[in-house]
Every structure is written in structure tokens, then in C-alpha cells.
Amino acid sequence: MCGIVGLFLKTEKHRPELGRLTAMMLHEMRERGMDSAGFAVYDQGEPGVDRMTLLAEGFDPDWSATATALSTALDAEVAVRPLEDHAVFEIHGDGRAARQWIIDNAPGVDVLSYGRQIELFKAVGDPDLVASRYDLASRTGTHAIAHTRMATESAVTTNGSHPFVTGADTCLVHNGSLSNHNQLRLQLEREGESFQTENDSEVAAGYLSWRLREGDTIDDALTRALVDLDGFYTFAIGIESGFAVLRDPIACKPAVVAETDHWVAMSSEYRAIAQLPGVEDAELFEPVPATIYSWSLAA
């Protein structure tokens, strides 16, 4: 199983309550995956500030010491907001260099997300507890994607939880199972991707990272994914300006989309959408198999 939700706020109206609405949707998808949960939230960010969400699983790091060392190494201001075993680093400087510094100098720390707008939290356990532990409900912003996991292909761990980062300000959640992920993992490792788990969805994320790194647009990368990924999937992909949805050609895994003047919502099941304000006027449809859908803020 697994449950997916995505919420994209087209207007200012509900942006102060992005987190509350996303938490409400996630709660409805709780029964589809009680193993773990995660969410990525996007706001408009601050000019000149790059962000990373870091995870230190199983130990208690000295985040402020890490931030000080990073600040010295980069000669840039670094602010840190710890939250449970996660921390958001705000870098007034080169975010890519900061990410590489963490990978090289902070053993045991995982970079869950990086970019201008994204923050990403995930953990093992009841999705409602994960949402409250990382205070999803108080979040504001433009869009969010979230996931509840019922593990089938690999172990229940934080790193095996969704969303998976695929690049700057992009991440992926997956409902389904890929059948060629072992072969694809080997190919992607040769292309320079590294993997932390045996998880099939991480391979899909690595695939998109590789394509985006090679210069594909999200649409190009997903079009190619239709050929290269074998198995069942409904994906929601968070991007800087919105989100995209793709289902495999057989479309065994469910998806429903609703759109109003103020928002676009996507979920595995309608009941997650049924809670949203103004849903009675929403235009509802089921995404067609093997077709890329995306919604984004007008440029």
C-alpha cells in the first residue's frame, strides 16, 4: 500500500495553513501506511539563503558546533534550527558547497533535502506522531507533499522513509514497487549516484537526480522514467514551484486530483481531499496512466 498526498496552494488564501491542511490529509492516509511517514514543505524562501534539512539518526549531534565549523569553512553566516533529530541549516552563501562539506565532514549526518525553498522531515512510526513530532501543522508555505509508508521492498528505517531527495528543491514520494531496481541501482552507481538503502523508491529518486543533473527538465526525466522504470508506481514529485504526478501504464496504484481556484490537491484516495476547504466546488479527476501532470506557480 502506502499513501501519498500533495497540496499546492495557488493563491495566498490558505498559505498560512499549509501545514494544518497537509497534516489533515496525511492523517486520512494513515491507514495506508503505519510504518513510517514524511513530508516536504516548500515556502518562497529568502533571497541569498540556501537551506538544508539534516538528519542525525541514533545520536545527538552538537548542531551549533557543526554550524560554526561550516560557517568558518565557507566564510558564510550559518543559522541552525534544530528540531528533534533533524536540523535545518540556513546558509547565507553557497548551498552546494555547504552540502558537500556536510557529506565530507559530518559522519552519520544525512542531508535529507537542500535548496532555497524545501524543508523535509521523516521518521519511523505512526504518521500522526511523525506529523506532530516535527510540527507539520504549524507550517506555512506554498506547497507540500507527504507520504505514509507500508514497507514491502526493504526495511523500515528513517532512511527508507519518503520523501527522497532528488536534487535541489526536488523530492519524490512513491506508492508501488519497482521490479528492476537492483539492476538500475548498479547502473546509477556507475553514473555517480550513491544509495543509502536497499529501497526501490530511493532508486527512482536516484534516477531522477541523475537525469536532472544531466540537464533534463522534470518532464523529460519523467518521460524517460516511463521507459526505464519497470514496476508499479504512482509518484508525486515536489519541485521548487509546485508538484508533478505520474502513474505507470497499468495504473494499479490509485491517484485522484482535485482543483479549485485556490488549490490543487492530489492523493491516493479521495478521503484525504474530502477534508479541504471548498472541496464541494472542486473539479475532480483521476490522472490517466503514463501521463505527466504538473502544477506550478506562474513564472
Partner 1 sequence: MSTTTIDLASSTIRQLNQTLHDASAGTFQVLNPKGAHAAAVGIDADITVEIMGSVGYYCAGMHQQGTVRIDGNASAGLAENIMSGRVHLAGSATMSAGATGHGGLVIIEGDAGARCGISMKGVDIVVGGNVGHMSAFMAQAGNLVVLGDAAEDLGDSLYEAKLFVRGSVASLGSDCVVRGSVASLGSDCVEKEMRPEHVATLTELLAAAGMDADPADFTRYGSARKLYNFHIDDIDAEVAAAGADT
- Nearest CA to 256 out of 37, 29, 31 is that of 29
Residue with cell 498559505: 15
Of 2, 184, 203, 264, which one is the catalytic site residue?
Answer: 2
Segment 256-295, which members bind partner 1 (CB under 8 A)? 256, 269-275, 284, 286, 289
Q: Does 200 bind partner 1 (CB under 8 A)?
A: no
Residue 148 C-beta: closest distance to partner 1, Å = 16
Contacts of 67 (CB under 8 A, 6+ apart): 78, 79, 80, 89
The Cα–Cα gap between 237 and 205 comes to 9
The Cα–Cα gap between 24 and 279 comes to 14
Q: Which stretch binds partner 1 (CB under 8 A): 69-77, 209-217, 231-239, 250-258?
A: 250-258
Nearer to partner 1, 226 or 274 (CB): 274
Nearer to partner 1, 23 or 123 (CB): 23
Q: Does 254 bind partner 1 (CB under 8 A)?
A: yes
Q: Which runs of consecutive H residues, i.e. helices, occur in the chain?
A: 18-28, 63-74, 95-105, 127-133, 181-190, 200-213, 218-228, 270-273
State the CB neighbour count (10 A cutoff) for residue 186: 10
Residue 101 C-beta: closest distance to partner 1, Å = 46
- Nearest CA to 201 out of 228, 219, 177 is that of 177
- Judge whether 2 counts as a catalytic residue: yes
Site string for partner 1, 10-39 (x = CB under 8 A): ------------------x-----------
Nearer to partner 1, 65 or 284 (CB): 284
Q: Does 232 bind partner 1 (CB under 8 A)?
A: no
Decide: helix, strand or coil at residue 223.
Answer: helix
Kindly list the catalytic residues: 2
Residues lying near partner 1 in the complex (CB under 8 A) are found at: 28, 251, 254, 256, 269-275, 284, 286, 289
